[in-house]
């Protein structure tokens, strides 16, 4: 199988770095260019000990680079991928790890991200792509928008149950805890008074940027107006997300029907693991993997359950989605880049 050439913008951030190391080991990808701003001319530093001697240099972007690559990855601040999307050649596809093409309505970017969308016409050329939902549909689009880490841990367990009408569409309570890497390299500056290593902090109540993304996709995937409350937390760990979702069961629904639904829905998806009833999850089970572990547990009330979902925010919630979508787009083995 022929190798494709890739250009990566934003290779020094947490997710960008994860992406570089995964693609460097990918049998069918050649990293042609790493492009940046503050690190131009510097050698990329691999964290993987087996790659320490490998040399990649970060370059200043030149439009001519696009002639030599098939795929462009962007792990940049919000707004930058929108500008890049306007200069792509017909031969290029864009896989974006920021929020630049996650929302379908351009005015939502101004409301939630405080930016005017710079490539409104390209929104129609993009697909919001959780790999397990989008699957081969990504092949029809020039721009592939990888979802946020929190939404990934929320949508994967909820969508199948809502589609099968097993749970109440109202009063869904979502409680998520993320490693501080989810806030980016500047997390230590942004939260300098939070004592990141020894405290748990709540933030973004009611106005977290992932709210419209979750609402949009629940509506799109189920056709229903789902009512939920989402509260994110910053946890004293570097990576990982543990999401707890409190749900009311519909009449005649049992916890066993819920587990059966999830197993059936994801039976052909390599990276989704549905655990046994009342399995207590840990982020440690998924760290440094592309797996999503989902567990269903009983609560005191027979009408309620809790769903736990654990992912690595930098892989399954970030770079791993990009690689999964890449593999699907080019018909590469789905596990390539992960082993």
Q: What digits encode the pLDDT tens for the residues 124-175?
A: 999 999 999 999 999 999 999 999 999 999 999 999 999 999 999 999 999 9
Q: List residues with catalytic annotation.
A: 149
Count of alpha carbons within 13 Å of 326, Cβ hemisphere only?
31
Helix (H, G, I), strand (E, B) or coil at 49: helix
For residue 262, the model assigns a pLDDT of 98
Do the beta carbons of residue 287 and residue 239 sit within 8 Å? yes
Average pLDDT score over the chain? 93
Q: Where in the chain is the domain with CATH 3.40.50.720?
A: 4-146+317-329
pTM over 0.75: yes
Of the listed ranges 25-34, 46-55, 103-112, 163-172, the least confidently predicted one is 46-55
Mean pLDDT of 333-338: 95
Do the beta carbons of residue 310 and residue 283 sit within 8 Å? yes
* CATH number for region 149-313: 3.30.360.10
Helix (H, G, I), strand (E, B) or coil at 56: coil
* CATH number for region 4-146+317-329: 3.40.50.720
What is the enclosing helix (H) or strand (E) of 202?
A: strand 201-202
CA angle 28, 30, 36 (to 5 degrees): 140
Closest CA to 99 of 143, 38, 63, 140: 143
> Rounded CA gap, 10 and 34, in Å?
8
Q: Where in the chain is the domain with CATH 3.30.360.10?
A: 149-313
Of the listed ranges 4-8, 30-34, 112-116, 195-199, the least confidently predicted one is 195-199
Q: What is the CA radius of gyration of the chain?
A: 20
State the DSSP string of 228-294.
EEEEEEEESSSS-EEEEEEEEBPTT--HHHHHHHHHHHTTT-TTEEEPPTT----GGGTTTS--EEE
Band of residue 227 on the pLDDT scale cut at 50, 70, 90: very high
């Amino acid at each position: 199988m022929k190798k494709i050439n890739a250009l990566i913008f934003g290779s020094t951030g947490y997710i960008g770095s994860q992406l570089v190391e995964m693609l460097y080991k990918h049998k069918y990808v050649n990293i042609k260019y790493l492009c940046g701003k503050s690190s131009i001319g510097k050698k990329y530093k691999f964290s993987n000990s087996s790659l320490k001697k490998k040399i990649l240099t970060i370059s200043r972007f030149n439009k001519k680079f696009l002639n030599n690559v098939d795929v462009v990855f962007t792990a940049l601040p919000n707004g930058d991928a929108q500008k890049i999307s306007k200069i792509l050649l017909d031969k290029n596809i864009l896989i974006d790890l920021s929020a630049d093409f996650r929302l379908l309505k351009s005015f939502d970017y101004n409301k939630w991200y405080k930016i005017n969308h710079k490539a409104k016409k390209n929104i129609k050329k993009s697909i919001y792509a959780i790999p397990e939902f989008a699957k081969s549909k990504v092949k029809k689009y020039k721009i592939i928008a990888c979802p946020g880490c929190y939404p990934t841990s929320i949508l994967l367990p909820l969508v199948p149950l809502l589609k099968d009408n097993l749970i109440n569409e109202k009063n869904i309570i979502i409680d998520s805890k993320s490693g501080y890497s989810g806030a980016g390299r500047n997390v230590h500056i942004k939260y300098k008074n939070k004592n990141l290593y020894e405290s748990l902090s709540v933030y973004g109540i009611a106005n977290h940027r992932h709210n419209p993304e979750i609402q949009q996709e629940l509506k799109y995937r189920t056709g229903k107006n789902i009512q939920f409350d989402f509260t994110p937390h910053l946890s004293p760990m570097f990576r990982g997300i543990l999401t707890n979702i409190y749900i009311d069961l519909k009449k005649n629904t049992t916890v066993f029907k819920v587990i059966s639904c999830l197993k059936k829905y994801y039976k052909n998806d390599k990276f989704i693991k549905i655990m046994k009833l009342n399995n207590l999850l840990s982020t440690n089970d998924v760290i440094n993997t592309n797996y999503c572990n989902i567990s269903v547990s009983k609560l005191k009330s027979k009408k309620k359950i809790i769903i736990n979902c654990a992912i690595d925010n930098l892989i399954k919630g970030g770079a791993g989605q990009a690689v999964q979508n890449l593999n699907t787009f080019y018909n590469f083995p789905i596990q390539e880049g992960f082993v």
